[in-house]
Chains A and B, each alone.
Chain A
Amino acid sequence: SQQGEEDPQALSIQEGENATMNCSYKTSINNLQWYRQNSGRGLVHLILIRSNEREKHSGRLRVTLDTSKKSSSLLITASRAADTASYFCATPHSGGGADGLTFGKGTHLIIQP
């Protein structure tokens, strides 16, 4: 069954605005990861947040994790046209994830110039 579910499925905003994407999951986790995929390309790891962390920053990215609500959010500040991509959250199948990640269906983000 789908572990991570992102919403919205699609998001279109103006360049310079902030973009927020959400992810919900079902089972207990020890970390949650966010990935970006440009059209027709492989996935790029953006950020990993551990279950004992509530917020993490990386450049213009801010990720939050609420384990009580089993949800996470990815905020991209001051969006740029190059941020146009699909964004996926992923959780380990079990434990640390040696047996793989489960991905949501993704949020397709379009940044209008």
Chain B
Amino acid sequence: SQTIHQWPATLVQPVGSPLSLECTVEGTSNPNLYWYRQAAGRGLQLLFYSVGIGQISSEVPQNLSASRPQDRQFILSSKKLLLSDSGFYLCAHRDKPPYGYTFGSGTRLTVV
């Protein structure tokens, strides 16, 4: 079965510090991978998606970047965090038909 791992679960970082969040998927090959952010009390905003190694599509301009160095690894990064980067970050992959999405457990990022 497919599983998705995301870490860390919580993170408190000072403004201006770098960020690296990692997501890995098991039990599938060549998955479509996604990073979402959820602000408090809000819906999810798609940040990046990737259909293959080295292929990254950005949905919104921001202070963040994503990379896919391996087939089942998706990394969300920032060189210098802003207060507005605080939120709940979720990694997801798209399942085989009928194409629901499986989400990781999320990372709660607080920038102070």
Contacts and interface: CB of A to CB of B under 8 A. Distances in A.
Interface in B28-45: 32, 34, 36, 41-44
Contacts of A98: 32, 49, 51, 94
Contacts of A44: 103
Contact of B104 (A2, A33, A42, A100): A42
B43 A41 contact: no
A80 to B, nearest CB: 22
Contacts of A40: 88, 106, 108
Given A31-B99, A105-B43, A106-B43, A99 B105 contact: no
Contacts of B36: 103
B31 to A, nearest CB: 11
Interface residues of B, number: 28
A31 B95 CA distance: 14
A88 B46 contact: no
B59 A100 contact: yes
B43 A100 contact: no
B102 interface: yes
B27 interface: no
A103 B46 CA distance: 9
B90 interface: yes
A104 B43 CA distance: 6
Given A33-B100, A42-B90, A98-B49, 11 more contacts: A31-B99, A41-B105, A42-B103, A44-B103, A45-B102, A93-B46, A97-B99, A98-B51, A98-B94, A102-B46, A103-B43
Interface of A: 2, 4, 31, 33, 35, 40-45, 48, 50, 88, 90, 93, 96-106
Closest 3 CB pairs of A and B: A45-B100, A42-B103, A105-B43
